[in-house]
Structure 1
Amino acid sequence: MVRINPSSIKNILIIRKHNQIGDMIVSIPMYYALKKTFPESRITLLASKTNYKIPFSEINPYIDDVIIYDKIKIQNAIKLIKQLRKLKFDLVVIPSTVRFSTTHNLISFLAGIKYRVGVSGVNGSKNKLSFLLNIKAKFNWIENKTHQIFRNLEVIEQIGCKLNFSEIFDSFPKISEKDETEMKKILDESFNEKNILIGIHPGAGKTQNIWDSENFLSLIKNLYQNYQANFIITGGFTDEEIIQKIQIELVNSKIPFLLAQNYEFRKLMSLINQCDLFISNDTGVMHIAGLTNTVLVGLMKKGNVREWAPMWKNKFYVSSPTDNINDLSLEEVQNFCNKVLNLTKWRKKLV
């Protein structure tokens, strides 16, 4: 472990290749640990451009500033490096918890940052240009099946940043009373009957994580038949086609539902918190649901669970037997959801 005088660190740069909503949520404790260890510091995230807007500050209150860069072309790289040198960062962290980026190592070196923290290798795979980092270590994340939360934290443990489990839990955003009241009002106005409430997120940012929409429709109809439930269908900008298909079928089947499309992060979190059960593909919204008190059933591919599944109380998953999410059977998901709903201690609205 390298000891750094906390008062000497005023300006911290984080360079992450993956900054979608799920990636942002699992990395929150890392930012909190840096703020705890270096309380006088400002944290800037250097993030690549995405095809939709990420509400960085809304998700992560420990980020003070964000620099967005497009894919590195030589002219853009030179401009970026000049900008970073001008900002005079004292410390840079390159977590590399998903995959390595030689570009990030090079940028951190050319930006003239004194302390450059990162990863030299993972399970025998070498991080090229890691010699440009001056604080680094090898990790066995794949062999140890280390969750993304702890991968991020292990990188900064090299400089003495540590959290206990309670601090990790407390670092995540909480639901405000204002948002809670607003969502309750929306639900009161949306449903005539106060039956149990089930949330469904049928889309995903990655097409390979999408369980077939016909399965979701059959699941909804089964749950409605068994519990006379009300439903919330959530979706984002990339889920339009799936949402439209499900919406038409639910209207035709006269199943009560609220469409919650493109909700802001905090409002969506509060809305999900009103549900008795939330069922989601492996995507950013699954991680948002993981921050709530609601029972979550995540639908995940084999191999993704230990690394990405939400970890907290009453958070469950059903995984496919293969790398194909659609090898996960409707019957298995239905049976699991029925078991959860029959445990009335987890219900918020008894019927």
Structure 2
Amino acid sequence: MKKILIVHLSGIGNTVAILPLINKIQRVYQNSIIDILLAQNRGGETIVKNATQIKSIYFLEKIDYMNKFDKFLFLYKKSQELPKYDIAITTYPNQGIFSALLMYFSAGQRIQHRYKYGNFLLSYAPEIKYTNFVEQNLNLVPYKNLNEDFKINYHISEENEKFAMEHIPNGKVIVGIHPGGFNDMEYKRYDINKWLNMIEMLHKKNSNYQFFIFGGPSDDLSFFQENDYIKIFKDIALEKTIALISKVDIFLSNDSGLAHIASMFNKKQLILFGATDPVYSKPYSENAFAITPKNFKPFYIPHKGIVNKINFYINEIDEEYIIKKIESLI
């Protein structure tokens, strides 16, 4: 029986993207014990604890403020607190050489993608391909001939299902919107006034639209006002947010974690990209469609960081163009 540790220090969207990997690990290493190490307070626990394959969840405290030497010592101590593993896998996108060092301390076989650093520590290091991060992660377990469909699955509890249904109006077309995103990446956010303008334009065209506006702790939704066609859901439990998103007819957002939540239910989606490359980062769903500005040139690559000059070209996407896309999907 193999003991396997998944090192995953990313947020909600990237956590959704590792669910197929967890399924694949279970299929390849049958009867194995699978644990996971998550970054604290990034939302990943809500997603992962739904995966029945995971036995134990461990947390890594925030260490961004530490210098390299202190990080090394901290990770060494953390590795000594963890059980010993046969295999440790660091998910894409990698969180730095310190993840590789942590795996070195914690496991016999160490697997992550090939980067410019730390490869000498690894037992298996596939090349990073120009493909979606779900497929990127599946490549970490090099077994192709499996007759399984590694879909993203999520179970909603009876309590949260009831909560969602209490907010669903009869006969309305529900448009879910997440106008925010990660709080230190403003260049990924569509201008709030454009969101407001688009909602009003849609409402004038069709009064049957009901708008659900979602926001987390870092999202400022004060510009939105609740009325008979706008409902605001901010700072509610993530499980309840997930349940509500599962009920929308279409979901609109920037490149954010909640966009990937919607993909778990194969919802029709339009995601606005201005910074990141949708080839890597688009939600993994046949119903998820990326909208980019003209002359789009991504400047943020998940495994590299900022690679070109930062711009706010996302705001050049015209509201009318988005509305036409919405109408074509509903």
Query: Normalising by the residue count of structure 1, what TM-score does the alignment of the two structures yield?
Result: 0.78
Unaligned runs of 5+ in 2: 64-69, 299-311
Higher helix share: 1
Select 1:31's aligned residue among 10, 17, 22.
Answer: 22
Relative to structure 1, is the Cα distance of residues 265 and 42 closer, same or farther in structure 2, using a 3 angstrom cutoff? Answer: farther
- Is 1:109 the equivalent of 2:104? yes
Q: Tell me whether 1:224 sits opposite 2:203 in the alignment.
A: yes
* 1:197 to 2:189 alignment: no
Counterpart residue number, 1:73: 71
Superposition deviation, residue 266 in structure 1: 3.5
Aligned: 1:295 with 2:268: yes
| CA distance in structure 2 between the partners assigned to 1:53 and 1:292 by the alignment | 18
Match of 1:237 among 213, 217, 228: 217
The CA deviation at 1:264 is 3.1
Find the structure with the greater CA-based Rg.
1
Do 1:14 and 1:45's aligned partners in 2 also have CA atoms closer than 8 Å? Answer: yes
Q: Deviations over 1:310-349 (max 9, x none)?
A: 23243222122334322222222122123223xxxxxxxx
Matched, 1:119 2:119: no
Q: Write the distance in 1 (CA, Å) between the matches of 2:135 and 2:217.
A: 30
**SS of the residue 1:245 aligns to:** coil
Q: Which residue of 2 aligns with 1:98?
A: 93
The counterpart of 1:149, out of the listed 134, 154, 159, is: 134
Q: CA RMSD in A?
A: 2.5
* Residue 89 (structure 1) aligned with residue 85 (structure 2): yes
1:155 is paired with a residue whose SS is coil
Which of 6, 9, 22 is residue 14 of structure 1 equivalent to? 6
Residue deviations 1:107-146, cap 9 Å, x none?
22233x221122334xxxx3x2211112233x151xxx21
Residue of structure 2 equivalent to 1:186: 167
Equivalent position amino acid for 2:327 in 1: N
Q: 1:348 matched to which residue of 2? A: none
- Report if aligned partners of 2:180, 2:215 keep a CA contact under 8 Å in 1: yes
Deviation at 1:101, TM superposition (A): 2.1
How far is the alpha carbon of 1:293 from its aligned partner? 4.5
Counterpart pick for 2:318 among 295, 317, 329: 329
- Structure 2 match to 1:208: 187
Kindly indicate whether the alpha-carbon contact (under 8 Å) linking 1:201 and 1:235 is maintained by their aligned counterparts in 2. yes
Quick one: which of 261, 276, 295 aligns to 2:234?
261
Asked if the contact 2:110/2:123 (under 8 Å) is kept, the reply is yes
More displaced, 272-281 or 50-59? 50-59
Residue 12 of structure 2 contacts residue 42 of structure 2 at CA under 8 Å; is this kept in 1?
Answer: no
8 Å contact kept, 1:58–1:265: no
* 279, 294, 319: which one aligns with 2:252: 279
1:81 offset after TM fit, Å?
2.6
Which residue of structure 1 lines up, in the alignment, with residue 308 of structure 2? none
Aligned residues: 304
Can you give the 5+ residue segments of structure 1 that lack an aligned partner in the other structure? 1-6, 342-351
What secondary structure is seen at the aligned counterpart in 1 of 2:138?
A: helix
